Amino acid sequence: MISQHLIFDADDTLWENNIYFERAFEEFADYLGHSTLSPQEVRAVLDEIELANIKIHGYGSLNFGRNLRQCYQRLAEREVCEDDLCKVVSFAERILECPMEVIEGVPETLAYLAERHDLTLFTKGHPDEQKLKIDRSGLGRHFAHTAIVREKDAPAYAALAAERGMNHGRAWMIGNSPKSDINPAMQAGLNAVFIPHPQTWALEKQEIVKGEGTLLVLERFADLRKEF
């Protein structure tokens, strides 16, 4: 088989991530205890805050804590005190303490692919947080190159491909997010492998728009061994 450039997303592709943010939100919604807004309606307010703050502060649990704090200040039906705000932020701070849960089939599949192809880890978020997760996962050794960027958009993929000297026809982005993995990679002229995750963050969901490259849809990460 001809060697390919395989580019991997990290969060919710290699290891669980969003489930911990969702649990933190559930704690937040319970603590807020709004008398008229449902958890889904509270979530809609939080989504609005997150969309605005991503452009300024980026991603990660620390920024999520800031977003929860702002959401609480906006929606609380009682006098807001500093103890309340510290409690709300703590829901996000505990995310970093959650155990690293590598998704089934990932370690052995990466080991198999690393012997045959050039593997790149391409993730977005707070650099220190992402580096910590990579170290804790033990998966970093499988990758010839790792890049952590502020946003994974089409220019970021084009820059990565140019930096690594990738042949677009033999380069594949592999991930769970249509917004950050599939659509921008294909917009940049790369191929893509979509591996849906049941807990993908709502703000990462989009309709998939096919580009010039090939799109594969797989049910499980381990299925990559059949394709590559």
Give the architecture-level CATH label for domain 5-16+101-227.
3-Layer(aba) Sandwich (3.40)
pTM equals 0.89
Which portions of the chain are predicted below pLDDT 70?
A: 1
Cα–Cα distance measured from residue 63 to residue 55, given in angstroms and rounded to the nearest whole number: 11
Query: Domain 18-97, CATH 1.10.150.240 — does that match?
Result: yes
Please state the domain extents for the chain: 5-16+101-227, 18-97
The number of CA neighbours under 13 Å toward the Cβ of 64 is 24
Which residue's entry shows tokens 């991503």? 54
Tens digit of pLDDT for each residue in 78-117? 999 999 999 999 999 998 888 889 999 999 999 999 999 9
Q: Do domains 5-16+101-227 and 18-97 have the same CATH topology?
A: no
- Tell me, what's the pLDDT at 209? 87
Distances (CA, A) of 136 to 15, 58, 122, 157: 11, 22, 17, 26
Distances (CA, A) of 150 to 56, 208, 213: 10, 22, 24
Spell out the alpha helix ranges (H) of 2-103. Answer: 18-32, 39-57, 61-75, 82-93
Grouping H, G, I as helix, E, B as strand and the rest as coil, residue 197 is coil
CB neighbours (10 Å) of residue 149?
Answer: 17
